[in-house]
Structure 1
Amino acid sequence: MSDAVTEKSAAAVATGREPRWLDPEQQRTWRSFLLGTTLLLDRIDEDLRREHGLSAVEYEILVRLSEAGGTLRMAQLAAALAHSRSRVTHTVKRMENAGLVVREESPEDGRGVDCRLTDAGQDTLRRAAPDHVETVRQSLVDLVDHADLMALGRVMDAVCDQLICAHPEREFRR
């Protein structure tokens, strides 16, 4: 028995509950999900970097700003991306140096900081979006049957519906 399983068994004894272990088919599906998600996100990031000099996070920031009418509070942006404020601040600073966004004092209360999409940022997003969607198509959408893609959507909607209540600011499905 592995150390990890022994530790889990010890936890089961401590709580009085036996874990509901995954059967072999569920374990294979879980591992395929983890590996597939990692490989897909890596491919998206690689393609955006190679073609447009953007990381996937930078692209997502441009998308979120565009969908929000061009401006978001930094705190909202960090929450929406599920990243720490310091990580988003660092990324936005890099993007600001590249002329894609600007940070400015919020006119709402003067305490917060807004991140605003620049014309250059909007142009970069317009150029990157067709290549990004092609990567998504080649790496996911076009690989599976339409019915399987719709099933994946339903599965991920169920996951989102269950977990989004703890972080409603992250919701961006349409």
Structure 2
Amino acid sequence: MEQQHTATDGRDTQHTQDAEATAWLSEDEQRTWRAYLHATTLLEDHLDRQLQRDAKMPHIYFGLLVKLSESPRRRLRMTELARETKITRSRLSHAIARLEKSGWVRREDCPSDKRGQFAILTDDGLKVLERTAPGHVETVRQALFARLTPEQQKSLGEIMMIVAEGLQPKEAGADLPWLR
């Protein structure tokens, strides 16, 4: 660990050197960053409120049901579901317990691995997903796509893919919360 240096006037010189070496955001970058944070916070809240109203579930639970519905036999190992949805295993376990209580998901032990479990979308879970999806799609369309031109939609998709690719870990043993 690097030793801290303190100037005679009490300032932390290492901190000062780090701050001076930082490539701070320009005004345009800062404006873009803050607009992104503001918009994504509002969008996530908007989607959560719609799903709470229509299905009594948060957006993250809806995403879990969607992921299971798209999986072969509507089932995924819990570790794979955590990885796919970027949710910590403990948060996933809590979410699946809540979805089980609603009767929308069930767990099954993995026959080839005593510690492993599958999350399985039930018929009732599929029905709630089918009933809720049209309203959710309309909410996404109105909140995001209806506000953008086709060119802006294309640009947004390209930008988000570039950002996601840049953040996707390349090494197999990456220390990521959803892998713990």
Answering whether residue 58 of structure 2 is matched by residue 55 of structure 1, we say yes
Answering whether residue 114 of structure 2 is matched by residue 107 of structure 1, we say no
Which residues in structure 2 correspond to 1:107-126 (within 5 Å)? 107-126=111-130
AA partner of residue 80 (structure 1): E
Answering whether residue 107 of structure 2 is matched by residue 97 of structure 1, we say no
Work out whether residues 100 and 119 of structure 1, in 8 Å CA contact, stay in contact via their aligned partners in 2: yes
- Alignment-derived partner of residue 23 in structure 1: 26
Q: How far is 1:110 from its partner?
A: 3.2
CA distance in 2, matches of 1:146, 1:31: 24
- Alignment-derived partner of residue 177 in structure 2: none
CA RMSD of aligned residues (A): 2.2
Point out 4+ residue stretches in structure 1 off by more than 3 angstroms.
9-12
SS of equivalent to 1:21: coil
Q: Larger C-alpha radius of gyration, 1 or 2?
A: 2
Work out whether residues 40 and 139 of structure 1, in 8 Å CA contact, stay in contact via their aligned partners in 2: yes
- Describe the superposition over 1:71-100 as per-residue Cα deviations: whole angstroms up to 9, x where unpaired: 011111122222211111111101101100
- Alignment-derived partner of residue 64 in structure 1: 67
The TM-score, its normalising length taken from structure 1, stands at: 0.85
Answering whether residue 145 of structure 2 is matched by residue 148 of structure 1, we say no
SS of equivalent to 1:104: strand
CA distance in 2, matches of 1:167, 1:115: 27
SS of equivalent to 1:61: helix
SS of equivalent to 1:111: strand
Work out whether residues 59 and 125 of structure 1, in 8 Å CA contact, stay in contact via their aligned partners in 2: yes
The TM-score, its normalising length taken from structure 2, stands at: 0.82
- The total of aligned residue pairs comes to 161
Work out whether residues 12 and 19 of structure 1, in 8 Å CA contact, stay in contact via their aligned partners in 2: no
- Alignment-derived partner of residue 158 in structure 1: 162
Structure holding more helix per residue: 1
CA distance in 2, matches of 1:22, 1:111: 47
- Alignment-derived partner of residue 32 in structure 1: 35
Range 142-151 or range 72-81, more displaced = 72-81
SS of equivalent to 2:120: strand
Query: What percentage of aligned pairs have identical amino acids?
Result: 38
AA partner of residue 125 (structure 2): G
**Cα–Cα, structure 1 residues 77 and 12, in superposed 2: closer, same or farther, change >3 Å?**
farther
CA distance in 1, matches of 2:122, 2:141: 28
Give the unaligned 5+ runs of structure 2.
1-10, 173-180
